Structure 1
């Protein structure tokens, strides 16, 4: 395998990068090498040498990847590089990549395209994909952060869309065409740092009671949905699309068999969850199960929770007409938090974690692929441990005994 050496002039003012290798990768092979002014060029050239089995790239390869200055005297590529291919844009390559995806759910592909159109193409779409540098990608990430996107959102955009596109560009084509790129500019590129906003959660039985009292005062129908959401940790699209057939009264559980998802600005019922982790069975407390069972027993219901018009709740309608009133009334009653609906999911998962529910069960309840997501994003620090800590530390220090002795 070829090596890259960093070389600095004696005066320390100039740095160059030398790629060197032994012919054929053999210990007794003759040394060969090339020196470059830029590390990115050295990395690209090293990748070509490695791909050629530790031999100097052919004239065609040198010309195709922009190294015509390294062509031997009198040598010329057998075929001129295709200008259209040399200037293949990120947008064009990304569209081709999306067209080859066969495994993801159609809604997932739609989401990828939407993210690319909104967050990636405006800055990188017209750039030749072969010329995009790590600096550009770092600046692109920081631009998203400066625009107010969270680190998690940026991670989703780059991990689900951008990184796979660059990885594909580093592989040979389906007909063994040379790779478009020689390295992935996202490799080793850290996410931009920024403060993590802690989501408000319900931390105690009193806070949960205050919240639910406000909900039932505003609208018992909406309150039942929120009670189920808080008791199960279901996402909005899961609880709002819950059908009667998914309720197992004898087992005291509900199954996630379909979800409500927004597609092209319309809420539609998808026949199955997006991921295999989405298929799960969630237990319900007896009191919540009775409420759900009463609803299921009513004939002609397509959903467990229905809006006034008789269909499923639309998020926007529920938020504007119900949630805002419930949230504000709860604060008037003394709830010291500005809750969000998704915060109810965070509240349950934090409660289960602090009560010692094992990580595998916690991940299953959440419907996450990785327990890391559950613990790092959804489980929050609470003050429930403060009193036990005070007692333990006080006993250790003997504060009460000192006080009794007049110290």
Structure 2
């Protein structure tokens, strides 16, 4: 890597250091100084650059492969292969490994030296905010370095991997940055109802939020769903096949986070939203009829929804509805599980929907007829009612990409199909027309509604 450069620039009332890497990538870092303290900020930058470049006295002997040289070659090879996590790995090595280990030849890295380094990680600070590294990020950095040196073993650069630390002894316990966040259980039932029925939210996003909140899928899995993934002939509930997710870094489709394929029952409320969306809403949104290969909830113009895009719209929509601050798009899975458990669903059944292991996912497919009623019962345990009184506000359908007059799907006072599905799921029975849809499923020319 050629020498890292840097400069100071104002950012509002604060001064920010900008590091320029060898490939021209710019990485900002907070200095903690304000406008008018340029001299102190420059000294901060000088010290930082000196640390990143490494001490001149530590130059390796000629011909020795250093940790930095191997790390750069490893990163370059992973970029060539298109490894999704390579940008994070490069940043972890650049800021938290190369400054201490970069000039050391691989053959001279000892277990004691690596143990000393990994134990120092919790006292390090982030390059952007200057805060201490979170426990989870410490584990990520340590894991990246361990993989790097294991591949050095695999290609015979070194004989053994010196990363022999013990996570429970030498690394901090994994904790969230905001303690207790995971125990809050997600959104309240009335908030869920608003997000999927309130016309102040665009119809496309109401469908997306229903998929988020009533299936337990991750946001990237929701964004990757296509109409062909929906089996409307399954009984007593429609079936959604989940085998891919959207990678937000490059907007491409990849396998799910855990590399498993899942099957998810479609809640009756979601079923009605999908029926309406397929029959009319999708056409209004995209200007044509949907095909089996089309995304269920694309962006305006047909593009994929990245997590960043969806998170921004979520924040704007929750503020528009007046929901309590801090409601996160990533709470939707916790919301799904909390609502189902509150309705009496078994955790084991929910795990097969949201967190199946590769072996469990395979077993679900091979024993689908036997486990499907139990999965349906878990989803049917979710009961939602409209909040009372109704939330006042403008009934404007703020749809992504266009403003159109969509319709709000309000359930009838009594849903006989839902009652029938509950009865059949409980008994494990199957009939030929539980949901009153065509056996061919969704067809662009003849919607299954």
Shared topology, TM-score over 0.5? yes
- Residue 272 of structure 2 corresponds to residue 282 of structure 1: no
Query: Offset at 1:244?
Result: 0.6
- Residue 87 of structure 2 corresponds to residue 110 of structure 1: no
Q: Which runs of 4+ in 1 moved over 6 A?
A: 98-101
Structure 2 match to 1:152: 136
Query: Offset at 1:226?
Result: 0.6
Deviations 1:267-298 (A, max 9, x none): 23x15435432x11111112212322444456
Larger radius of gyration: 1
Structure 2 match to 1:300: 290
Structure 2 match to 1:257: 243
Deviations 1:91-122 (A, max 9, x none): 33345556888xxx955x330x2222212322
Q: TM-score, normalised by structure 1?
A: 0.56
1:348–1:90 Cα change, 3 Å: farther
The count of corresponding residues between Structure 1 and Structure 2 is: 272
Q: Distance in 1 between matches of 2:272 and 2:92?
A: 46
CA RMSD of aligned residues (A): 3.7
- Residue 187 of structure 2 corresponds to residue 208 of structure 1: no
Structure 2 match to 1:88: 65
2:226 pairs with 243, 264, 270, which one? Answer: 243
1:327 pairs with 313, 318, 323, which one? Answer: 318
Any stretches of 5+ residues in structure 2 without a counterpart?
A: 1-59, 284-288, 360-449
Q: Please say if residues 249 and 289 of structure 1, whose CA atoms lie closer than 8 Å, have aligned partners that are also in contact.
A: no
Q: Distance in 2 between matches of 1:273 and 1:206?
A: 30
1:273 pairs with 256, 274, 295, which one? Answer: 256
Structure 2 match to 1:338: 326
Q: Distance in 2 between matches of 1:250 and 1:311?
A: 28
Question: For 1:255, what is the secondary structure of its paired residue?
Answer: strand
Any stretches of 5+ residues in structure 1 without a counterpart?
A: 1-81, 372-407
Query: Offset at 1:207?
Result: 3.5
1:231–1:223 Cα change, 3 Å: same
Q: Distance in 2 between matches of 1:285 and 1:134?
A: 51
Question: For 1:259, what is the secondary structure of its paired residue?
Answer: strand
Deviations 1:74-96 (A, max 9, x none): xxxxxxxx9457x5333333455
- 1:388-399 aligned at under 5 Å gives the runs none
Q: TM-score, normalised by structure 2?
A: 0.51
Structure 2 match to 1:119: 92
1:144–1:348 Cα change, 3 Å: farther
Structure 1 match to 2:172: 191
Deviations 1:4-55 (A, max 9, x none): xxxxxxxxxxxxxxxxxxxxxxxxxxxxxxxxxxxxxxxxxxxxxxxxxxxx
Q: Distance in 1 between matches of 2:266 and 2:297?
A: 16
Deviations 1:143-202 (A, max 9, x none): 25773554334334433x233334455x5x556x75255552456412267662505554
